[in-house]
């Protein structure tokens, strides 16, 4: 089942770990956007008061 | 939450330092076997998260307390993200080891995909139901039924006779001691990451609910839009 002539394994290992990091990064960015939205809302509410 | 976050980062960094610098290089697989320390913990945590979603849904149906629905929703939502990680890292490993991105005759791969696709229906199901009370109830029933399916599916696959994908938690899969240590630390790190992200997600949702309540108290006309997330 093992295929021959494949690219070096290093690339696959780097790709797998980089994908995991990218997934985490995307999640952190989404959370940061949400947090900034809440902050904006809070500023708006305190201004209204 | 800060302590939990620091513990998560420390455990994950330790795990991958152990995996790359302490665990021996696999004689057959070579460097590509290092994907094992990422892919398997991701898969186990994703499956555990789906089951946890079902257990939390039982609590919701028992108590009718909406906080359990939120927890069940977040557990499944996060397990889906871990599931994406499992499928992609698994595909990369499969390509490196077998020369194929995917094998349709491999029971473990196909069964994981079925579980993933089953849970991919969870959010559309919630979104399809407008009434928040009914949405929470139906979603809980779905989470319980699907949660029961996960271990049954897992057991059925383990009884499969022919397979290419190695069975990780079996006596025939002999990992040396340092490799087991790296694996268990990676698994602990992944569990901690899952719990940390769930807690952040729940905290973010609770802040949003609090903001909405505050707006209502200030007399603003707040219209909660249709959402798959608990309202």
pLDDT tens per residue, range B37-95: 999 999 999 999 999 999 999 999 999 888 999 999 999 999 999 999 999 999 999 99
Nearest to A6 among B38, B96, B197 (CB): B96
Q: ipTM of this model?
A: 0.82
* pLDDT for the residue numbered A49: 60
CB-CB under 8 Å, B218 with A45: yes
Note whether B50 and B79 are within 8 A (CB): yes
N-term to C-term CA, chain B? 24
Q: State how far the Cα of B231 lies from the Cα of B229, in Å rounded to an integer.
A: 6
Q: Looking at the complex, does the CB of residue A39 fall below 8 Å from at least one CB of chain B? A: no
Residue B26 pairs with which residues in a beta bridge?
Answer: B30
For the record, the structure tokens of B89 come out as: 């890292």
Q: Where are the domains of chain B?
A: 36-163+175-217
CB-CB under 8 Å, B42 with A34: no
CB-CB under 8 Å, A19 with B92: yes
Single out the residue of B175, B129, B143, B148 nearest to residue B27, CA to CA. Answer: B175
- Per DSSP (E only), the strands in chain B are none
Q: Which pLDDT band holds residue B230 (cuts at 50, 70, 90)?
A: confident
CB-CB under 8 Å, B38 with A16: yes
Q: If you measure CA to CA, which chain A residue comes closest to B38?
A: A17
CB-CB under 8 Å, A31 with B96: no
Q: Looking at the complex, does the CB of residue B39 fall below 8 Å from at least one CB of chain A? A: yes
Note whether B98 and A1 are within 8 A (CB): yes
Please state, for a pLDDT cut of 70, what percent of chain B lies above it.
92
* pLDDT for the residue numbered B32: 85
* pLDDT for the residue numbered B12: 92
In this prediction the pTM is 0.86
Domain of A15? 1-49
Query: Mind listing the pLDDT tens digit for each residue in A20-39?
Result: 999 999 998 998 898 888 88
Q: If you measure CA to CA, which chain B residue comes closest to A21?
A: B85
Given a cut of 50, is residue B172 above it in pLDDT?
no
Given a cut of 50, is residue B152 above it in pLDDT?
yes
Q: State how far the Cα of B108 lies from the Cα of B84, in Å rounded to an integer.
A: 15
Domain count, chain A: 1
Contacts of B206 by beta carbon, 8 Å cutoff, 6+ apart:
B70
Query: Mind listing the pLDDT tens digit for each residue in B24-53?
Result: 887 777 888 889 999 999 999 999 999 999
Helices (H), chain B: 2-21, 36-63, 66-98, 107-120, 122-128, 132-158, 177-217
């Amino acid at each position: 089942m093992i295929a021959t002539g494949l690219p070096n394994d290093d690339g696959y290992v780097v790709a797998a770990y980089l994908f995991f990091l990218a997934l985490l990064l995307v999640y952190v960015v989404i959370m940061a956007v949400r947090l900034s939205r809440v902050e904006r809302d809070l500023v708006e509410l305190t201004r209204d008061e | 939450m800060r302590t939990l976050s620091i513990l998560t980062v420390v455990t994950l960094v330790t795990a991958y330092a152990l995996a790359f610098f302490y665990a021996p290089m696999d004689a057959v697989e070579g460097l590509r076997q290092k994907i094992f320390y990422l892919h398997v913990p991701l898969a186990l945590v994703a499956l555990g998260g789906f089951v946890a979603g079902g257990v939390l849904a039982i609590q919701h149906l028992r108590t009718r307390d909406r906080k359990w629905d939120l927890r069940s929703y977040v557990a499944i939502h996060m397990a889906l993200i871990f599931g994406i990680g499992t499928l992609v890292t698994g595909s990369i490993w499969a390509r490196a080891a077998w020369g194929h991105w995917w094998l349709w005759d491999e029971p473990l791969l196909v069964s994981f995909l079925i579980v993933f696709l089953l849970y991919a229906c969870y959010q559309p199901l919630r979104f399809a139901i407008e009434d928040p009370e009914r949405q929470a109830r139906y979603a809980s029933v779905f989470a319980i039924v699907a949660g029961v399916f996960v271990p049954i599916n897992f057991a059925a696959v383990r009884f499969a006779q022919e397979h290419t994908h190695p069975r990780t938690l079996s006596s025939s899969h002999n990992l040396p001691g340092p490799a087991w240590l790296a694996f268990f630390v990676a698994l602990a790190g992944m569990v901690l990451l899952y719990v940390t992200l769930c807690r952040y997600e729940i905290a973010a949702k609770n802040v949003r609910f609090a903001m909405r309540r505050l707006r209502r108290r200030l007399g603003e006309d707040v219209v909660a839009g249709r959402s798959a997330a608990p309202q």
